[in-house]
Each structure stands twice: as structure tokens, then as C-alpha cells.
């Protein structure tokens, strides 16, 4: 069975995720990303005709464009991700870990290590097409499941050639805990694992601590899932944190990133730990906020390791710069497997070694 992959958005820079896989007369949309920056139009959805939509997770750059598509198109996501869909949008369940048939195509899912309810997607199309969504090997809370082999790998490369281990990031944040801090975080992503870590630090260093109610709710939702959908040995720590009351005058607050501007927190230093919009970059340059990454995406060496694990013969690094020095680095890391075309055509096996060719 041949396939054609159209990278509508997400290739060459950080941007909305939207990929169409066309095979056997059917068109499946992998993610329906919304704009990362206020006021930016969503152009990838203009005139788009697909048979089904598969959503990897609930962050805006992967789900925020659903409203641009007809409500009549079948949409698949996990139940926790469905909570973020537009009101009354019909959906069908993706397993947190398992397989189902979508428009005659076998789709396998697994835990992606990035967020509550998030999954990677594998399409059983001649040799396999793997789409990581956003993924991470280093989460203290969310597991990453080993995917089936795939000739074609569409991988989260949001961090480019960055390769700093998580423990180094944690230590850098630890050094800033001696001042009043607010950490705005995605409420279904790093918020949950950072809440556990910060509660441990608060106990050790004896500073008053508070977390946003929505983060508590999401921790409770995670605890209610089957135990194999979180890292082992954490249930008692999650339960203890849920029972812990917020300090009345906290020195450190973990809040939803909907509340992430300096004027909302006049007596605190804002410490951001993820992607910065252009507005936040200006604030960082002016010293109005601080920034230190907490790893929630694949580091460069992990991306290569995943490509090797998949036995992929062609790899598309998504959500990253692919020009100049960055492109040279990717060529060194991925060699002949690197693909940067917006359209890929995958032909059936014609020899003992898989073959594929590309069209622009």
C-alpha cells in the first residue's frame, strides 16, 4: 500500500502541527494545531478535505485548529484530551495504549512521555509511519512506550540540536528557589511533574508553596488512570500532594500558563520553563522575566536514538529550524535519513531493502 504524506504545517520552524497521510483513497489528518502567537491566522486548514482527524495531545499547537475544520469529520483522541475540544465537538476514543481501525487503516498508540492523555501515533502503512506528536524520554511522571518499527519517522525536534540532560535543568531551577517565584506552566504537561518535584523541594527547604487548582485536578485525573499510565512508585507522593493545602502566603507558586504576565504577579519573579513567544522574549531581554528550560521534548541524541529504534529509513525533524548551521547539524546526525520536503511519497517494498522517494 503506497502513501503520500503532506506536511501542511510544522516543518522548518516551531509552528502548528498539521500532517495529512493519504493512503488507499483515505486522508487522515495527524493533529490540528492552532497558532502559537496571538493574532496569527491558521492557514493550513484552508479548503482542507480529510476523512478523519487524529489528535496526539491537547496543547494548542496540536489541537487549537480543530474549530477550523468541519464538525462532520470524525475526530479521534483520548478521553482526557477530549476535554479541550470545542464545546459539543463529537469525538471517538483513541486508546492510551493499543490499536484500532480508522478508515480501514490500523492505528497504534502509545504513551509519549509529554502530557496528560498524550499519545504517539503509528499507522500500519507499508513499513509503518510513526508520528511522535510532542514526546520526551525524560519525564519523571509520564512514561514513553516503545513504538513498533516504522520506515518513516515524523519526529518532535522542537529543541533542535540542544542536548542538555534533564538533571542539569533541574539543578539550574533549584538554584533560583531562594526568591519569591511564580512558574507558569502548561496545566496538562510539565505542570504535573514539576508540582511533584517542587513539593519535595518545599519540604526539604521549608518554603511555603502553592499550586493552581487546575493542576491539582489534573494530578487527580492522572491518579485515577490505570497505574501503568504513570511512572511507577509515585502514587503515594501524588496522593500526599493532593491532600496538602496551599500556603496562605506562598514564596513559590506553580500556576497555569494562562496567567503568565509580570503585571499579574507584582511581588514575584516569573520563571518560564518552555517555549517563549516573541512578546516573552522581549520581556526576557528586558529582565522582566527569567527562563530556564525543563525538558519536555526529545533532546537531539534522543531523537536519533528513537529513529534508530524505529529502524527508520527516512526521518523528518518537526517543529525546528532547518536552515544554515542547524541544517548542517541535522545532516550530521541523521545522514541520508534526513528528509525536509513538504510531500513524501512512500512506495511499497520492491526489494529486500525498503525503498522510498520524495517529491516537493
What is the distance between the alpha carbons of residues 122 and 210, in angstroms, rounded to a whole number?
Answer: 39
Instruction: Report the DSSP beta bridge partners of residue 315.
Output: 153, 338
> Taking the model in full, what pTM does it have?
0.94
pLDDT at 161 over 80: yes
pLDDT at 350 over 60: no
The pLDDT tens digits for 227-278 are: 999 999 999 999 999 999 999 999 999 999 988 888 899 999 999 999 998 9
- Residue-averaged pLDDT of the chain: 93
The mean pLDDT value for 4-31 works out to 96
pLDDT at 52 over 50: yes
CA distances from 91 to 77, 118, 141 (A): 7, 15, 27
Cβ neighbours of residue 102 closer than 8 Å, sequence gap 6 or more: 28, 52, 54, 74, 76
Cβ neighbours of residue 263 closer than 8 Å, sequence gap 6 or more: none
Phi and psi torsions of 264, nearest 5°: -80, -15
Cell of 48: 482542507
Q: What is the DSSP letter of 166?
A: H
Are residues 159 and 131 in contact, defined by beta-carbon separation less than 8 angstroms?
no
Instruction: Provide the sign of the torsion angle of the four alpha carbons 71, 73, 79, 81, taken in this order.
Output: negative
CA-nearest of 136, 192, 193, 149 to 170 is: 193
Cell of 148: 513498533
pLDDT at 342 over 50: yes
What is the distance between the alpha carbons of residues 223 and 147, in angstroms, rounded to a whole number?
Answer: 24
The pLDDT tens digits for 202-236 are: 888 788 999 999 999 999 999 999 999 999 999 99
The mean pLDDT value for 28-46 works out to 93
Length of the chain: 360
Amino acid at each position: 500500500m503506497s502513501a503520500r504524506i503532506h506536511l501542511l504545517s510544522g516543518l522548518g520552524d516551531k509552528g502548528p502541527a498539521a500532517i495529512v497521510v493519504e493512503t488507499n483513497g483515505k486522508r487522515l489528518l495527524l493533529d490540528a494545531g492552532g497558532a502559537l502567537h496571538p493574532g496569527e491566522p491558521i492557514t493550513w486548514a484552508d479548503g482542507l478535505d480529510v476523512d478523519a482527524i487524529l489528535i496526539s495531545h491537547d496543547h494548542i499547537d496540536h489541537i487549537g485548529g480543530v474549530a477550523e475544520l468541519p464538525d462532520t469529520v470524525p475526530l479521534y483522541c483520548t478521553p482526557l484530551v477530549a476535554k479541550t475540544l470545542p464545546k459539543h465537538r463529537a469525538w471517538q476514543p483513541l486508546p492510551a495504549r493499543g490499536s484500532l481501525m480508522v478508515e480501514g487503516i490500523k492505528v497504534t498508540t502509545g504513551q509519549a512521555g509529554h502530557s496528560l492523555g498524550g499519545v504517539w501515533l503509528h499507522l500500519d502503512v507499508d513499513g509503518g509511519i510513526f508520528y511522535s506528536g510532542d514526546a520526551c524520554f525524560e519525564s519523571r511522571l509520564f512514561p514513553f512506550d516503545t513504538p513498533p518499527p516504522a520506515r518513516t519517522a515524523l519526529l518532535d525536534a522542537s529543541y533542535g540540536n540542544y542536548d542538555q540532560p534533564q538533571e542539569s535543568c533541574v539543578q539550574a531551577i533549584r538554584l533560583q528557589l531562594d526568591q519569591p517565584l511564580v512558574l507558569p506552566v502548561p496545566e496538562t504537561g510539565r505542570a504535573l511533574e514539576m508540582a511533584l518535584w517542587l513539593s519535595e523541594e518545599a519540604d526539604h527547604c521549608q518554603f511555603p508553596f502553592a499550586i493552581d487548582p487546575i493542576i491539582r485536578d489534573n494530578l487527580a485525573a492522572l491518579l485515577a488512570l490505570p497505574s501503568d499510565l504513570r511512572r511507577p512508585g509515585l502514587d503515594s507522593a501524588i496522593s500526599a500532594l493532593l491532600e496538602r493545602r496551599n500556603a496562605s502566603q506562598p514564596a513559590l507558586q506553580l500556576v497555569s500558563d494562562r496567567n503568565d504576565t509580570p503585571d499579574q504577579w507584582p511581588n514575584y519573579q516569573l520563571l518560564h520553563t518552555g517555549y517563549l513567544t516573541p512578546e516573552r522574549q522581549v520581556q526576557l531581554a528586558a529582565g522582566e522575566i527569567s527562563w530556564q528550560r525543563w525538558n519536555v521534548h526529545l533532546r537531539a541524541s534522543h531523537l536519533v536514538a528513537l529513529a534508530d529504534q524505529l529502524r527508520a529509513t527516512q526521518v523528518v525533524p518537526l517543529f525546528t529550524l532547518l536552515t544554515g548551521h542547524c541544517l548542517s547539524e541535522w545532516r550530521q546526525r541523521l545522514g541520508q535519513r534526513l528528509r525536509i520536503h513538504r510531500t513524501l511519497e512512500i512506495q511499497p517494498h520492491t526489494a529486500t531493502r525498503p525503498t522510498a522517494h520524495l517529491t516537493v
